[in-house]
Structure 1
Amino acid sequence: MATGRDLEPSVEAGRELSFRERQLILDSAEDAVEITEAIAECSCLHALRLEGNTVGVAAAKAIAATLTKRPELKRVYWNDMFTGRLRCEIPPALKSLGEAIILSGAELTELDLSDNAFGPDGIQSCKDLLRNKSCFTLKELRLNNCGLGAEGGKILAKALKECHEESSAKGQPLALKVFVAGRNRLENDGAVVLAEAFRLLGTLEEVQMPQNGITHQGISALAMAFTKNTNLQILNLNDNTFTETGAACMAEALKTLQKLEVVNFGDCLVRSKGACAIAKSLQSGLEKLTELNLSYGEIKKEAANEVVKALASKEHLQKVDLNGNCLGQEGCVLVRKTLESLHKGAVLCSLSDDEGSESDGGSRDDEADENEEVQEDLGSHLQGEELADPELQIKGKAIIHSKVGVSSQDLAAQLDNLSFSAE
């Protein structure tokens, strides 16, 4: 039996039918009658919100049956929709709903599946929808906190690439603008294949992929892909692990992303050399920048000061976060004074969690980290993770050549044997 708070479904001016946060427990078709009747009676249904309820397989099939007759549907919010469900229940429920959209002939512009812990099996059940003509028109795709893992990332990337290929053949290439997939444990394998999809798209304006366990190889692949998405305005890769290699590649990419407004590389271990590379890119552009987050990156005072000096011409700047680095008291004062001298003192966030200087034990040695990165790159032979862009391949090789602790002659000999082309 359906239970939940005593609230009426709302039909908003934008032709949106909302059951949002009703806390309904929908097990059977009978439990879903309120929703199915409301869908059937709605004169024109452009958006359907089901988040904040819990939907079982039978209820999902009943709802799906009514959606087959709604070709005008544009936006579906199926996030946070399976609380308390067995994981095996979620894929068939999603498959039913996806098939209904396909049968209806609807052309979606927004699909939100966030906060559903369905893992690779869940995204597998959505792949037919994602590559169908109903998603040729998709502008916003949100899959935050779904537990995709690397395998789920591969399934998703393949579906997006197939959608782009098939939509292009029909003369209406997929032009996705918003991609959100934080907290999914995508790691390098998932990030690299998604980078290939992003590279094909070239239309992204917002990318949010925080907390995915991505290290410098995946970050470098994403950086290369972002250079093909020059309309990017919001970039959030918080709580991944750039280190110097990833930061250098991302800094290079920033030079092509002149429409960026929000850059969040907080908790990404860009370290001092990476911060300096980013500062150089900031100095030469990004005039629309409003927010910059380089917090908790083990950045020392000199590098942090280079970053803030690079912000001199940023007239739209509203927020700079350098908290939790290795500035020490002297560095905190220096950064504040530099920003004040640029008449931007008000944009600086608190530095209350600064971890002190490296001499106080706040930072790991950059050189040791760089040597590990080189060995990882050489030992894996990059495993096809470099994308097939000759100019970017050269840049990638140059970055590896610059590492400390390996003689350039020996490293060059080993690099000549590596393959930099995609599988």
Structure 2
Amino acid sequence: MATDIVAQLADSLAKAGVEEGELSYKGQGRKLDDAKSVEEIVKEIQDFQGLQALRLEGNTVGVEAAQAIAKALETKSEFKRCYWSDMFTGRLRSEIPPALNSLGDALMMAGARLTVLDLSDNAFGPDGVRGIEKLLKSTACHTLQELRLNNCGMGIGGGKILAASLIQCHKSSSAESTPLSLKVFVAGRNRLENDGAIALAQAFQLMGSLEEVHMPQNGINHPGVTALATAMQHNPNLRILNLNDNTFTDKGGIAMAQALKHLHSIQVINFGDCLVRPAGAIAIAETVSEGLPILKELNLSFCEITEEAAVTVAQAVKNKDQLEKLDLNGNSPPTTTFAITPFSTPPSAPRPPDVSSFLSFPSPDKLLKLGAKRALLIEQQQYFNSAVSFSDGLLKKAFTTPSFQGYSFVSSLLVLLGLIKSEDKVKPVLVVPGHLQALEHVVRQDYFPKESVAVLEAFMSR
């Protein structure tokens, strides 16, 4: 009985999260190989009057299955939002472009006008970008407002194709007096590097409509950062700029400081782990002190900023009434600089060397930062990566299995962590840092229910 009630509650919560006009198969872990495997989905699409959005995240879609779904979408003229992240797990890279081409062709045939296109976490490389190239250039994307391509492995080549497609879309839409006005652009962890960033900067400058830009961990150095800074000046409504874990150096930091002078709507600046160095930090501080009236967050952590530069930054934000967070952690030396303003982040121990960042984007500078135990740290990180990969596969399947009792799982987890007592006298395990790191990873994943995260947070924050 209790299990049935929990299942009903979970079903109600899932339905409550569905937007108007939306059909969702999010996180169901379906393996959709052929037309037969998607018969139910196809029928529901066909029967859904006024379909505006389709969620396929967390499933795996083959070419034939994609073609069948595409056929059903060909008549959906009111369609607006594609939530298609993480839907090619286990597929050959060669399968992805034809699958995307089929879906894109269907949307164009339907006369759809997209506002959201989310293909994050698909790791499709430059070939995947070619799979959406025709769609991006079409009238279907003249109305696009959000483009999310996080963690897709586009590389320099994919970045250039994407930039050219956006420029062409802007050109053709402008000819119809409805210029492309993209508001949100997300492309973290894509190895865009300088050439990819410079190409995209041209598109950004042309559009001039961006409100959020997220491009962390792309291996961009100061030439690419400078190009992006120039482009940002032409986007006066920009509210969020996240370039975390790229390499500015003082040249890029100074260029970005100049760009920020034109961005009076900016609320969140994340240049953490960007090596802005003292000159870049001081230039940014000067811009902050002279303007940016509604700034809420400023992250210059792990940027090799000296104590003097950190003090200058802290003083610059002292009178910012809306500031909620200032992060200067991980700079050298760690001092009481953070206590200068009540909005500042409290002092904390230096962050361990970021091995994952080095493995994602290796550089001599990052390798040296790992210290004398770098070989051991890298080996440990590789073991950790293998462990979380196994956990992801196991938990993703578990949470998407109808018979799985999620609340019982969380209760057992709390017992093993020693946070609650078991009626069956189950003893807690010896908790080591690796356990907590793995837990921190899994609760951030889409498959982990938000209500379970809230329960864990409530107990662990005591």
> Shared fold (TM-score greater than 0.5)?
yes
Structure 2 unaligned spans of 5+: 1-6, 353-363, 366-462
1:96 is paired with a residue whose SS is helix
Judging changes above 3 Å, is the alpha-carbon distance between structure 1 residues 349 and 187 closer, same or farther for their aligned structure 2 residues?
farther
Q: Which residue of 1 aligns with 2:453?
A: none
Amino acid at match of 1:133: T
Distance 2:15 2:57 in 1: 13
Deviation sequence 1:248-287 (CA, Å, 0-9, x none): 1000001001110000000000011110010000011111
**2:242 matched to 1:232?**
no
Match of 2:288 among 259, 282, 288: 282
How far residue 15 of structure 1 moved from its aligned partner, in angstroms, is 1.3
Specify the alignment match of 1:348 in structure 2: 345
Q: Which residue of 2 aligns with 1:173?
A: 179
Mapping of 1:89-128 within 5 angstroms? 89-128=95-134
Residues 387-398 of structure 1 correspond to what in structure 2 (within 5 A)? none
Determine helix, strand or coil for the equivalent of 1:352. coil
Any gaps of 5 or more consecutive residues in structure 1?
Answer: 356-363, 366-423
RMSD, aligned CA:
1.9
**Contact 1:10/1:19 (CA < 8 Å) preserved in 2?**
no
Q: For 1:29-178, what aligned pairs fall within 5 Å after superposition? A: 29-178=35-184
Question: What's the CA shift for 1:317?
Answer: 0.7
Contact residue 267 and residue 296 of structure 1 kept, 8 A: yes
Q: Give the match for residue 311 of structure 2.
A: 305
Identity of aligned residues (%): 55
**How far apart, CA to CA, are the structure 1 residues paired with 2:347 and 2:99?**
46
SS of 1:31's equivalent in the other structure is: helix
Q: CA deviation at 1:18?
A: 0.4
Shift of 1:29: 0.3
How far apart, in 2, do the equivalents of 1:294 and 1:147 lie? 26
**Could you say which residue in structure 2 is the equivalent of 1:338?**
340
Choose the corresponding residue for 1:16, options 17, 22, 32.
22
Q: 2:339·2:346 contact (CA, 8 Å) conserved in 1?
A: no
**Residue 197 (structure 1) aligns with:** 203
Distance in structure 2 (CA, Å) of the matches to 1:289 and 1:13: 31
TM-score between the two structures when normalised by the length of structure 1: 0.79
Shift of 1:349: 4.5
Amino acid across the alignment from 1:60:
A
What is the CA distance between 1:141 and its match in structure 2? 0.3
CA–CA separation in structure 2 for the residues paired with 1:134 and 1:43: 20
Q: How does 1:372-383 map to 2 (within 5 A)?
A: none
Mapped to 1, the partners of 2:344 and 2:290 lie a distance apart of 20
* Cα offset, 1:338, TM superposition: 1.7
Letter in 2 for 1:195: A
Letter of the 1:302 counterpart: E
- Structure 1 residue 336: deviation in Å? 3.2
The superposition leaves residues 60-101 of structure 1 with CA deviations (integer Å, 9 ceiling, x where unpaired) of 000000000101011110110000111111111011001111
Distance 1:82 1:67 in 2: 19
* Residue of structure 2 in register with 1:261 after alignment: 267
Q: Distance in 2 between matches of 1:294 and 1:222?
A: 18
Q: Give the TM-score, by structure 2 length.
A: 0.72
Q: Is contact 1:26-1:32 (8 Å) kept?
A: yes
Secondary structure of the residue aligned to 1:137 is coil
Whether the aligned pair in 2 keeps the contact of 1:321 and 1:350 (CA below 8 Å) is: no
Look up the SS of the partner of 1:32 in the other structure.
helix
Change (3 A) 1:161 1:13: closer
1:56 partner amino acid: G
Native 8 Å contact 1:326 1:354 kept in 2: no
For residues 95 and 351 of structure 2, the distance between their equivalents in structure 1, rounded to whole angstroms, comes to 46
